[in-house]
Amino acid sequence: MGLIDRLFGLVFGGGNNLIRDTAEVFVENAEKGTAREAVMRGDALAQFAGEFAVQQRGLFDRFVDALNRIPRPAMAIGTLGLFVSAMMDPIWFASSMQGIALVPEPLWWLLGAIVSFYFGARHQRKNEQFQKQIAASLAHTPTVMRNIKALDATNDAVPASSKSDQTDQVEHTAYPNNAALKDWAKMRD
């Protein structure tokens, strides 16, 4: 027995497991890998939420944001106004368009670049705000899951007799003259 004990002690004993330690050289320990991944995901979410934290904006920032909202509706309403003016006073519209025909081509290119950059920058800013909102939602996910579990536990704690009493009250108040809806409400319970 002493030889067998020493042999097993060499392979499995001393707080170290020779087989496990050798196998972990070639294959990752799944439990430790999952723990490392959970820590990594939590750290990444915390960093992401911290980076995109909602900040209070001042009066000037809100005023400039309000001004930035004016060009798109103004251009859309102005274009519709041109159609209305073409129908109401075709002579005035034609003379106005003759003036636009005299605008040199480089100025049209400049206008196109300004409008493209304005809308491109606005699109990028809105996309970044959307990413911030997603990060904030992801940061609240654990709290929401805990709340859902608590609500489910509360719902399970309600006795079945009180649930049937509530169903009878709903049947008489919500579906007083509809037999099909009464049957449907009974089948749900």
N residues, the chain: 189
Residues 74 and 118 in one domain: no
The pLDDT tens digits of the residues spanning 125-151 come to: 888 888 888 887 888 888 888 888 888
5 with 33, same domain: the answer is: yes
Q: How many domains does the chain have?
A: 4
Whether residue 98 has pLDDT greater than 70:
yes
Q: Which of 46-55, 130-139, 147-156 has the lowest mean pLDDT?
A: 46-55
Average pLDDT of the chain to the nearest whole number: 80
Q: From 147, 123, 121, 137, select the one nearest 54 (Cα to Cα).
A: 137
Distance of CA 91 to the CA centre of its chain: 52
Judge if pTM exceeds 0.75: no
Over residues 31-53, mean pLDDT: 86
Is residue 109 located within the same domain as residue 74?
A: no
- The pLDDT value recorded for residue 11 is 64
Q: Please, are residues 135 and 128 in contact by the beta-carbon 8 Å criterion?
A: no
Position with higher pLDDT, 93 vs 4: 93
Cβ atoms of residues 38 and 118 within 8 Å: no
What does the pLDDT read at residue 169?
53
Range of the domain at 189: 159-189
What totals of helices (H) and strands (E) does the chain contain, helices first?
9, 0
Same domain, 153 and 116: yes
3-class secondary-structure state, position 1: coil
Alpha-carbon distance of 137 to 145, in angstroms, equals 12
Q: Mean pLDDT over residues 178-185, rounded?
A: 79
Quickly state the pLDDT bin for 84 (edges 50, 70, 90).
Answer: very high
Q: 122, 68 in Cβ contact below 8 A?
A: yes
- Rounded CA-CA distance 74/69 in Å is 9
Same domain for 44 and 65: no
Amino acid at 93: F
Look at residue 14 in the predicted model and tell me its pLDDT: 57
Q: What's the pLDDT tens digit per position in 59-71?
A: 898 898 888 888 8
Residues 153 and 163 in one domain: no
